[in-house]
Amino acid sequence: MLVIISPAKTLKTDIQAIENSTTPVLINKSKILSEILKAYKPAQLAGLMGISTKLAWLNFERYQQWKAPYIYKEALNAIYAFRGEVYNGLDIDSFSEEDVAYTQDHLRILSGLYGVLKPLDAILPYRLEMGTKLTVREHKNLYQFWGDLITQTLNNDLKAFGENTLINLASEEYFKSINTKLLKANIITPVFKENKGGNYKVISIYAKKARGIMTRFIMKNRIRQVNDIKHFEQEGYYFNEILSNKSLFVFTRG
């Protein structure tokens, strides 16, 4: 199975990419986006991305320096660079070399700038959420810009490893970049809910971390069968058969 997750806004930048880093498969499309963003002034980036002046200046400087191709000593590996609740739950720093190698084949990170990333892809620091309403030539947003390229890339990866199941642990914002009608895989979406006064609700901060923990569970245990995901029982979650269906696996706690 192939697992997809979202990137994070926060990056750990005091690291350097490893020698056997890989190159993002859609890097030529990233060049187009970077050239457009390079023309934006800090105030324009602040408005476009809904960020503070300080963050706007930071990302202005990042895009001024962004170039491709770039050498690995200038770059970061995606899986080690992203920080946030999903990545806290994943805890990649505790993975063995064998775990990382397996994760490289079975995990993909969706990205506004890079489209699809493998864990060890070398990236430059950036900020560009998939939902950003960036006009790119004739495309009014990033969803239109990426079109079916993300879906085609995932199909290629699924075919390469003989997989026919996609585990969707990405946010809705990023999952929308996939054309599910063209995706050649069964899609399973795990959902994590908390018991609040007798009702089960998705609480964003807990759900994000749970998606990371689930990703860790799949990678560390080399899960290949869909039904084995139902055995996930970490952080107090358990599979709730009543709330689930064949494509939506609901895990509840409390």
Q: What is the pLDDT of residue 98?
A: 97
CA 124 to CA 71: how far, in whole Å?
A: 10
Assess whether the previous peptide bond of 7 is cis (omega < 30° from 0).
no
Q: Which residue ranges in the chain fall short of pLDDT 70?
A: none
Q: What is the pTM of this model?
A: 0.96
Give domain status of residue 54, yes or no.
Answer: no
Compute the mean pLDDT over every residue in the chain, rounded to the nearest whole number: 96
Domain count along the chain: 1
Q: What is the pLDDT of residue 111?
A: 98
Q: What is the pLDDT of residues 203-233, one digit of tens each?
A: 999 999 999 999 999 999 999 999 999 999 9
Give domain status of residue 64, yes or no.
Answer: no
Q: What is the pLDDT of residues 40-77, one digit of tens each?
A: 999 999 999 999 999 999 999 999 999 988 877 889 99
Closest Cα partner for 203 from 237, 178, 175?
Answer: 237
CA 98 to CA 102: how far, in whole Å?
A: 6
Give domain status of residue 69, yes or no.
Answer: no
Give domain status of residue 65, yes or no.
Answer: no
Give domain status of residue 34, yes or no.
Answer: no
Give domain status of residue 59, yes or no.
Answer: no
Give domain status of residue 193, yes or no.
Answer: yes
Alpha helices, DSSP H, located in 39-148: 42-49, 53-65, 78-81, 85-90, 97-106, 142-146
Give domain status of residue 35, yes or no.
Answer: no
Tokens representing residue 20 in the block: 């056997």
CA 161 to CA 155: how far, in whole Å?
A: 10
For residue 148, give its domain range. 2-25+75-253
Q: What is the pLDDT of residue 70?
A: 85
Q: What is the pLDDT of residue 54?
A: 97
